[in-house]
Amino acid sequence: MNEKKPIPIESEEIDLIHLFRRIINFLNINGRSIALCGLGGMLLGFCLFLLISNKYSSRLLLHSTILTNSEQIEIIESWDELLSKGEYQQLSGMLNSDENTLKKVKSLKAKEIYKVDGVAGNPNGFIVEALVKDTAVLASLEQGILFGLNENEFIKSRVTLKKQNITRMIEKVTSEIDKLDSTKKIIENSLRAQGSSNNGFIIDVAGINGQIISFNEKLLSYQESLKFVDAIHVLKSFSKFRNPVEPRLELLLFAGLASGIFAGLLLTFRRNLLDRIRHS
């Protein structure tokens, strides 16, 4: 009668089974204390959620006409650095804002909307993202940001010069329109006095009308440029949101659970190590 030969078990499988047994035994002995530490960590995370003040995020969309977006973003980043250092008095002068308002601002970040290939600079504006403790300060913060970006001496001189140039062009174009209107009236009066049409005069009147239309288009363009000649324009103001972005309960609970389990494992290993030292 042939006997069945036992199937050999590889040493790696034996080691793996032994490892699983040790893990199960470890959890049977210490699982309760580790679970309690995890629950304690979650409770601590919930307490932190109740204690940490809410923070709200909002975005301001701006368009610059004097400086490049990169230059404006650099200015805003310098303000954010002052906020992080608590230099509220210095920043208050720059933004013409109350210090108590600035103390409720956690951070100011700026970035371009997107880059356009082949275009000098970025004509599409940039975003300012504010993180605040109270949404009530967003309106005054927006005014402060606009003040800070507009009241720079270099920017003010550039804006003033640009306004003067556009105003002079408006005056010149208006003067040319008045001259053409006067010339047109003279020709029309001459035609009525003669009582007959003159081809040369008809051509002149048609040409004058075309020039008047062209100058009026330029005048409207200059007037529009003068209206929007300010250094910075608001494309979208800050919005007040009810739901805070910080703190997030699920993140604090998860972090508390993970920290509690880790602390429980450390305490367990420490207790086991001390027991081994005593027995030895």
Per-residue pLDDT of the chain (280 residues; tens, 9 = 90+): 455 555 555 566 667 777 777 777 777 777 788 888 888 888 988 888 788 888 999 999 998 888 888 888 999 999 999 999 999 999 999 999 999 999 999 999 999 886 544 444 456 689 999 999 999 999 999 999 999 988 877 888 888 888 888 889 989 988 888 888 888 787 777 767 765 555 554 556 677 778 888 888 888 888 887 777 777 888 899 998 888 888 788 888 888 889 888 888 888 888 877 777 777 6
What's the chain's Rg over C-alpha atoms?
A: 38
Residues 6+ away with beta carbon under 8 Å from 72: 62, 64, 110, 126, 149, 232
Placement of tokens 């659970």 in the chain: 257
For the chain, first and last CA: distance in Å? 53
Q: How many CA atoms lie within 13 A of 230 on its CB side?
A: 12
CB 34 within 8 A of CB 263: no
pLDDT score recorded for residue 81: 94
Supply the pTM of this predicted model.
0.61
The whole-number pLDDT of residue 12 equals 63
pLDDT at 190: 73
